[in-house]
Amino acid sequence: MLSVIIATQDSERPLLPTLAALVPGATEGLISEVIVADAGSRDDTAIVADIAGCNFMLIEGALGARLKKAAASARAPWLLFLRPGVILDSGWISETRRFVERRPGGPQAAVFRRGAPAQAELREVWSLFLTALGAPPRPEQGLLIAHPFYDALGGHRDGAADAEAELIRRIGRRKTATLGAIASRLDT
């Protein structure tokens, strides 16, 4: 049902808790595959991905190009983009399943509610406040998107300064649902 895509570069430490939070989704059959799109890490990111059973892809180039190439290899009808260090709470499985199994015609993309890191910095608290006021979602909230919708949008753009945020802007707030589950960012 889902192909999870995580772009990494020297992300061994933040990747561990992100993958650990995905294990229940894999055991319940929600996750078909996890693709780690790596930019050439010099740490043990590849080993962590291998031990976790991920499809590790070494992809040179900018973030947008790596994400787009990983998405092109994804087999599932839904894509879930996560950053290393983003941890989904236990409710993510039921929320995601409900969203992807709903009747067609609704939003084809969703983000998770933003949670505060364990030791919130002032900018994180400010970001939470802006999100509550209707500010556009941030990549730290993850992005769940129908694979055909992603392809129709042209995917992530290679030249964008922040390819993840740029894609979320192109999708637009009206076409993006916010799921009840929380995505928290690990302080690194």
Q: Which pLDDT band holds residue 56 (cuts at 50, 70, 90)? A: very high
Q: Where are the domains of the chain?
A: 2-185
Q: What is the pLDDT of residues 146-157, one digit of tens each?
A: 999 999 999 999
Q: How far apart are CA 28 and CA 12, in angstroms?
A: 25
pLDDT top residue among 188 and 138 = 138
Nearest to 34 by CA among 45, 47, 23: 23
Nearest to 7 by CA among 77, 81, 78, 89: 81
Q: Does domain 2-185 sit in CATH 3.90.550.10?
A: yes
Q: What is the pLDDT of residues 58-101, one digit of tens each?
A: 999 999 999 999 999 999 999 999 999 999 999 999 999 999 99
Question: What pLDDT does residue 173 have?
Answer: 85
pTM (2 d.p.): 0.89
Question: What pLDDT does residue 118 have?
Answer: 47
- The number of angstroms, rounded, from the C-alpha of 79 to the middle of its chain's C-alpha atoms is 8
Q: Are 162 and 93 in contact (CB under 8 A)?
A: no
For the cut 60, the answer to whether the pLDDT of residue 119 exceeds it is no
pLDDT top residue among 122 and 41 = 41
Mean pLDDT, rounded, for 141-166: 93
Q: What is the pLDDT of residues 16-55, one digit of tens each?
A: 999 999 999 999 999 999 999 999 999 999 999 999 999 9
Question: What pLDDT does residue 33 have?
Answer: 98
